Amino acid sequence: MRPWPTDRIALGGDYNPEQWPRATWREDMALMREAGVSFVTLGVFSWSWLEPAKGEYDFGWLDEVMGLLHENGIAVDLATATATPPPWLSAAHPEILPVDRDGHTLWPGSRQAWCPSSPVYREHALALTTQLARHYRDHPALALWHVSNEYACHNLPCYCDTCAGAFRRWLRQRYPGLDAVNDAWGTAFWSQRYTDWDQILPPRRTTTFANPTHQLDFARFGSDTLLDFFREEKAVLVEHSPGVPVTTNFMTLTHFRHLDYHDWAPEQDVVSTDHYVIESLEHPRAELAFSADLTRGIAGGAPWMLMEHSTSAVNWQPVNRAKAPGQTIRDSLAHVARGADTIGFFQWRQSRAGSEKFHSALVPHAGRDSARFREVCELGAIAGRLGEVRGSRVEADVAILWDYQAGWAASGPAMPSGDLEYALVGQSIHRLLRGRGITADVVHPSADLTAYRVVVVPTLYLVRDEHAAAIAAAAESGAQVLVTFFSGISDEHDHVRLGGYPGAFRDLLGVRVEEFFPLLPGETVALSEGTGRLWSEDVTPTTAEVLGVYAEGPLAGRPAVTRARAGGGSAWYLSTLPDDQSLDAVLGRIVTAAGVSPAAEVAPGVEAVRRRGEHGSWLFLANDTAQEQTVEVAGHDLVSDRPVGSVVLEPGGVAVVREA
Ligand code: GLA
Ligand code: GLA
């Protein structure tokens, strides 16, 4: 087995040699060496090539590619190739096809057209995994197993009859009996009471609003079902290829929410993820930073792998813009700054055919003689110098809580405001802190919160009792805790906590709310400082002091910002979403009270993140402004490979300074 490259930050990406003639493979090896590629992910969509007919395996071509990679010193992250079934399998077993909410079968013709609950699909996938594991277990190029690919990207939720049966079995395990399901789902409402398990269906399209807890449990079931499948594939690998680490690539992108990665992470030997910058977002680079901090949180603070991102344009946005010169390097280092020890891309060579032919790659259509490939080579050289950073940890005094299940519940049907997107408030706070040079860990409410000076609880709509208790304990033991509106509202079954909002946090915050006044699209409300948008509510302080009020409208004079004492710390409450400047002012007061300082003194728009290891620390800098910026820091810049006393960053420029 080849050890994972450790003298550098590993650089590489998905390699799909089956799309190319053999002559190209040789050229690939030469170009990979030129670019400093140290790993590839191989075989992700190779099932129909590896098993051209049921039980007939053809590993010859893959042996050849593995051999070439080994000769060239490139480690292989070998896929189990089970992400997409071959046409012979779906033709023989159409029952493996997924079904959407409207009852439409999703036919083969693209990828991942398989039902997450299908025992037939599993059986065939496990058979292939077994063969691959036995065949490659001792291969010297094999460094890592890559199970399936981006689970749930396209095939969850599936509403087919197989899933209906599996959902009932899942419910029987979760609840002591049908009465408990009826209680949890609140089926006294709208005559929904079930008297037999077989009456329970997936939440298919219905006449009007579906039962929210039914939907929530179905989302949990979907994540659990695929996790169970992952475990089965992993067990095969562990049995037949012991000692080789196993991962599957997560999708920690804001728009992807189908899996609860906090449940998945403990099953990974190393957490890996895919991330794509979406240029049409209002704050694309802030979204990248948030997603990377979330990935680190999912990984429990340990270094993680960036399995895929793009050198330039993707193919799946309405308009797919190329990255600016230098942005391949800048985006890559932004992930490394936040804990990635690997820089992976989709894909090595840009396809000639197929629906991803306009997705960028390390080797673009233009070929070796291109600005993009030259930038990739430059990145390879930088990655080669960054080996010393491996294993170090990102410093953060702030935790921002993120819970996929709270997000599922918050995006349930018929809520007070359809405009309240779960990620919005947390990401706004994260972005403003980042603007201050302050790094946050984005962590699950069950994470150990005791080491943080600031704990942010953004729109944590659904919260379990024990998590609410841990948040209160963090304040008691000295943290500044900031809770925003629409937090603590419901329990794990999405039943509203009675007696006044924000139920679970009422005592901690010393406030009580009787009614929400969500704001209409585009509507703002004047505050004593700045304006609020999206939300407002009628807050009565019980023990909290009032720091800011609504200045107009039905709530004029009522609290918008409050703070209560809580043991050694404080509990702050925001009942609206202030404009950036006013929100930043509140955050400024909080970080000052907490004694949190930035990673470095930087101008607004310059990103500064510190990683620290046993033998030193590294300051990652990126200039997102349109002007040249100077940062005072002494040490050795690993990007320019020069000693520095201060760093001058061009617009878009980056530096990684090993601090003196
Ligand atoms: C995902 C997939 C890849 C590829 C890229 C394109 O990350 O895993 O196979 O489709 O998207 O962005
Ligand atoms: C979309 C695309 C996929 C993948 C993800 C992001 O869903 O269809 O190919 O790239 O986004 O990884």
By CB atoms closer than 10 A (0-12, 13-18, 19+), residue 282 is exposed
Residue nearest to atom 3 of ligand 1 (CA): 346
What is the C-alpha to C-alpha distance for residues 422 and 462, in angstroms, rounded to an integer?
Answer: 11
Residue 5: per-residue pLDDT:
87
657 CB near ligand 2 (under 6 Å):
no
By CB atoms closer than 10 A (0-12, 13-18, 19+), residue 138 is exposed
- By the 8 A CB rule, do 58 and 64 touch? no
**Token reading at 261:** 């990665």
Residue 554: per-residue pLDDT:
95
Residue nearest to atom 12 of ligand 1 (CA): 314
Residue 101 DSSP label? T
Instruction: Say which of 51, 308, 537, 607 is annotated catalytic.
Output: 308
What is the C-alpha to C-alpha distance for residues 323 and 277, in angstroms, rounded to an integer?
Answer: 10
190 CB near ligand 2 (under 6 Å):
no
481 CB near ligand 1 (under 6 Å):
no
End-to-end C-alpha distance for the chain, whole angstroms: 37
The set of residues, in sequence order, having a beta carbon less than 8 Å from that of 163 and lying 6+ positions away, is 99, 115, 116, 117, 157, 202, 225
Centroid of ligand 1 to alpha carbon of 394 (angstroms) = 27
Is residue 515 part of the annotated active site? The answer reads: no
Centroid of ligand 1 to alpha carbon of 274 (angstroms) = 8
What is the C-alpha to C-alpha distance for residues 427 and 161, in angstroms, rounded to an integer?
Answer: 38
Rounded mean pLDDT for each run of 10 residues along the chain, 660 residues in total: 86 98 98 98 98 98 98 97 98 98 98 98 98 98 98 98 98 98 98 98 97 98 98 98 98 96 98 96 97 98 98 97 97 98 98 98 98 98 98 98 98 96 98 97 98 98 98 98 98 98 98 98 97 98 98 97 97 98 98 97 95 96 96 98 97 97
- By the 8 A CB rule, do 259 and 151 touch? yes
What is the C-alpha to C-alpha distance for residues 149 and 128, in angstroms, rounded to an integer?
Answer: 15
User: In the block, which residue shows the tokens 């408990």?
Assistant: 180
Alpha-carbon dihedral angle through residues 442, 448, 449, 453, given to the nearest 10 degrees: -90
Residue 1: per-residue pLDDT:
65
Of 308, 314, 345, best ligand 1 pocket probe by most atoms within 8 Å of the beta carbon: 308
Is residue 287 part of the annotated active site? The answer reads: no
Centroid of ligand 2 to alpha carbon of 487 (angstroms) = 30
Residue nearest to atom 11 of ligand 1 (CA): 346
Residue nearest to atom 9 of ligand 1 (CA): 346
Q: Which ligand is nearest to the CA of 14?
A: 1
Residue nearest to atom 5 of ligand 2 (CA): 153
Q: Which of 644, 649, 646, 601 is nearest to 625 (CA)?
A: 649
Of 346, 358, 360, best ligand 1 pocket probe by most atoms within 8 Å of the beta carbon: 346
Which amino acid is residue 365, in one-letter code? H
Q: Which ligand is nearest to the CA of 13?
A: 1
By CB atoms closer than 10 A (0-12, 13-18, 19+), residue 190 is exposed
Centroid of ligand 2 to alpha carbon of 316 (angstroms) = 7
Q: Which ligand is nearest to the CA of 254?
A: 2
